[in-house]
Structure 1
Amino acid sequence: MMVSVLIAPDKFKGSLSADDVALALERGLLEGAPHARVHRLAPADGGEGSVAAACAGRFRPETVTVTGPTGLPLTARVAVDARTRTAVVEAAAVCGLGVLPYGRTAPLTATSRGLGQAVRHALASGADTVVLALGGVATTDGGAGLLQSLGAVLAREDGTPIEPGGRELAGLRTADLAEARSALAGVDLVLATDVDNPLLGPAGAAAVYGPQKGATASDVRELDDSLGAFVRGLEAAGVPDAARLARTPGAGAAGGLGFAGMLLGGRVRSGADYFLTLLGADELLAGSDLVITGEGSLDEQSLAGKLPVALARRARRQGVPVHAVAGRCTLPADRTAAHFRSVQALADLTDEDCASDSALSARLLARCGRTLADRWIG
């Protein structure tokens, strides 16, 4: 009997793209079960690879030149679907860690200005639904750069615009969001993210994600203080919902871009679920006998609804068993059993650092695919 297998992993960050992971798993699976019919899907969760995931479906890429995170010009892509008038704008491609010149972090001064320029391009292409894929950014500026590039007035005491970066937010004295909100009037703004952090405090944008962007302990304190001053400055300048939105889950996504998106009327959606729906995962699940998914690190954050768990929940509703492959797994078996029939971790197969060795990761993934074929397909 022909067995239908859906392979739909997330990326293994720093090692392999989602498509590379799927290809390696497929190679091993077909070695052990050459009769299997395999469908590959390379979804995203709102972070890096979101535009590529959209373009694997019916979207087409468009190139746009924007201001990069350190102020230098940058060429990025947005994904546009003319039929549904939807555009996907990926923050990581515009102001992400991966596009920093020479990889040099700038935690206090990096800006999200280019994201607003990419949004304007999407609107000029005719989009009336704009999906902001929020993740993987180098910025912690509360989305101030995004707001300014859409026309918001964010000024200091002397009337000059506040400078780029999170450090400068404390200088805000005058704010007017009218033009930025007008630019998005009638637009469905979707904030696709897999995090539910608020903007401020110990679970906020600076404290949790600042160190990943090169922030020292003192930088984190300065950034959190500046973000707090930004919120208070907005309220004092006549934005009455600023404090409430800052406390809303998802406001701390992408260095506060979630907060800025909410100020513009955006609604937070699970990035994983959004892209699974966008790419027709339910239809593929309906025709599958077995699913293989995974990500670089299967951990507590995964259980909050990241891609593998989001896919497993959908598969469970259709009675399809799901198997997971991860770079590493820090969860005990009783925590994974509710979602996955089996879990394999590359870290258990080698003493080497496969996270920084893409070739080794690919070989081990193929080995995992073969193991799945031998044990579960036969």
Structure 2
Amino acid sequence: MKVIIAPDSFKGSLTAVEVTKSIKKGVINAFPDAETISLPVADGGEGTLETLVSATNGEIREVSVVGPLGNKVKAAYGILGDGKTCIIEMASASGLALVPEGKLSPLNATTFGTGQLIKQALDDGFSTFIIALGGSATNDGGAGMLQALGLNILDKEEKEIGYGGGKLENIARIDMNYFDKRIKDSKFIIASDVQNPLIGLNGASYIFGPQKGAVPETVKLLDKNISHWANKVADVTGVYLHDLPGAGAAGGIGGAFQAFFPVEMKRGIDVVLDYIKLDDYLSNADLVITGEGQVDHQTASGKTPLGVAQAAKRKRVPTIILAGAVGEDVEVLYEFGVVSVNSIIDKPMTLNESINHASQLLEKSAEQIVRSYFYRSINGIKGGALI
């Protein structure tokens, strides 16, 4: 019996690595001789760095950078096991988790720290990058990141504009003379599931601004400012970000990458699955167990359980999903090779109780799931009778 364990994190509770360990315990409790393959996964958002570094036996380096609100924070970038590939999770330097409760400020939040991480990695000799977008606190179109890398974004007085989406309206000219020359000779894979354009009702400001603290009036201002930014970017690069798919990712930083970097835009889960080599492990596997904190109809938009199930289906291996909460319309997942979607909650409990006991709940659920799934084959049952 060979079981692949490839879950995402249960956000606010357990990391992907911790979830994997708990599920493995449950499988082994049921079948001590089972072969288990542990492959923690992420979908390109938060947790991607840890997942890829762990999967490839790489290392993490800490860097002091400017946080989203302009204060100093400790961020990190990862080096994969090949010693050549650098992974940067923009949330590490410019993420929502770095902003204290009640202090969200999309007009002022900057991606400058993300640019500092890239610059440090370039200084350290790296030229192949994976950039994981997601979880950003910013709506500056990536302007801060570009400033950290030497791009001069100037106002009418030929002075640098300040931080944040609120300052983009002051741009008079963009000077590329001092933009880091090493970037054009590097390779950047951008891991993002977002296909939104930069501006408009489906753009960065309207769709993602509210979760970063923008009220309706602020959303309108941010969209106006980021449209002005897009016009100025087009003047110097010839790239029109306004309606470009993916340009609205992470407050518009997706557009900055497409305009100023040599990039390949890829679905986040696909980037991760390529690097952890899931396909190689699926040969002769009997079952895949994946999961994340909440599974619902949005899971089918490219989140971890969907990507894992799609890969497994191509190898004719069934997938079972474990989740902290199961929402509506999960039936859509069944067409992608998912056998069942199961909540780990086994009795009435509060959210805090489920978070605090997530490890034990996962272990118990995994044990019961595999006992049920493998019962017929283990006991030689066919057609309802023992053989």
In the superposition, the TM-score normalised over structure 1's length comes to: 0.92
In 2, distance between residues paired with 1:196 and 1:94?
23
- One-letter amino acid of the structure 2 residue matched with residue 298 of structure 1: V
Q: 1:358 aligns to what? A: 355
Matches within 5 A, 1:30-41: 30-41=28-39
Matches within 5 A, 1:102-121: 104-121=103-120
* Displacement of 1:356: 7.9
In 2, distance between residues paired with 1:359 and 1:275?
28
Q: 1:263 aligns with which of 251, 256, 259?
A: 259
Describe the superposition over 1:272-303 as per-residue Cα deviations: whole angstroms up to 9, x where unpaired. 11111111211122242110111222234321
* Displacement of 1:27: 2.4
Task: Give the CA RMSD over aligned residues.
Answer: 2.0
* Displacement of 1:355: 7.1
Change (3 A) 1:12 1:201: farther
* Displacement of 1:329: 2.9
- One-letter amino acid of the structure 2 residue matched with residue 51 of structure 1: L
8 Å CA contact 1:172–1:230 kept in 2: the answer is yes
Q: 1:310 aligns to what? A: 307
- One-letter amino acid of the structure 1 residue matched with residue 218 of structure 2: D
The yes-or-no answer on 1:11 pairing with 2:13 is: no
Q: 1:203 aligns to what? A: 202
8 Å CA contact 1:200–1:252 kept in 2: the answer is yes
In 2, distance between residues paired with 1:222 and 1:350?
47
Q: 2:380 aligns to what? A: none
* Displacement of 1:144: 0.4
Gaps spanning 5+ residues in structure 2: where?
376-387
* Displacement of 1:82: 7.4
* Displacement of 1:102: 6.0
In 1, distance between residues paired with 2:368 and 2:259?
49
In 2, distance between residues paired with 1:134 and 1:309?
19
Q: 1:172 aligns to what? A: 171
8 Å CA contact 2:52–2:80 kept in 1: the answer is no
Q: Aligned residues: percent identity?
A: 33
Matches within 5 A, 1:79-228: 79-81=78-80, 83=82, 85-101=84-100, 104-180=103-179, 182-228=181-227
The yes-or-no answer on 1:247 pairing with 2:243 is: yes
Describe the superposition over 1:302-338 as per-residue Cα deviations: whole angstroms up to 9, x where unpaired. 2122221111111111111111112333343541211
Provide the secondary structure at the position in 2 that maps to 1:185.
Answer: helix
8 Å CA contact 1:147–1:177 kept in 2: the answer is no
Matches within 5 A, 1:320-331: 320-331=317-328
Provide the secondary structure at the position in 2 that maps to 1:238.
Answer: helix
* Displacement of 1:178: 4.7
Describe the superposition over 1:212-236 as per-residue Cα deviations: whole angstroms up to 9, x where unpaired. 222222222221221112112333x
Residues matched between the structures, number: 372
Gaps spanning 5+ residues in structure 1: where?
none
In 1, distance between residues paired with 2:130 and 2:257?
10
In 1, distance between residues paired with 2:131 and 2:68?
16
Describe the superposition over 1:58-115 as per-residue Cα deviations: whole angstroms up to 9, x where unpaired. 3211121111111111222111247452100110111111122567322221100011
In 2, distance between residues paired with 1:33 and 1:40?
16
8 Å CA contact 1:291–1:322 kept in 2: the answer is yes
In 1, distance between residues paired with 2:223 and 2:171?
15
Provide the secondary structure at the position in 1 that maps to 2:357.
Answer: helix
Q: 1 or 2 for the larger relative contact order (CA 8 Å, sep ≥6)?
A: 1
* Displacement of 1:254: 1.1
Provide the secondary structure at the position in 2 that maps to 1:295.
Answer: strand
Q: 1:336 aligns with which of 309, 333, 337?
A: 333
Change (3 A) 1:330 1:202: farther
Q: 1:294 aligns with which of 286, 291, 296?
A: 291
- One-letter amino acid of the structure 2 residue matched with residue 55 of structure 1: V
In 2, distance between residues paired with 1:252 and 1:355?
34
- One-letter amino acid of the structure 1 residue matched with residue 79 of structure 2: V
In 2, distance between residues paired with 1:325 and 1:335?
16
Change (3 A) 1:130 1:246: farther
Provide the secondary structure at the position in 1 that maps to 2:185.
Answer: coil
- One-letter amino acid of the structure 2 residue matched with residue 305 of structure 1: G
8 Å CA contact 2:3–2:287 kept in 1: the answer is yes
Q: 1:231 aligns to what? A: 230
8 Å CA contact 2:297–2:330 kept in 1: the answer is no
In 2, distance between residues paired with 1:342 and 1:322?
8
In 2, distance between residues paired with 1:366 and 1:354?
18
* Displacement of 1:268: 0.8
In 2, distance between residues paired with 1:102 and 1:333?
32
Mean CA deviation greater in 292-301 or 334-343: 292-301
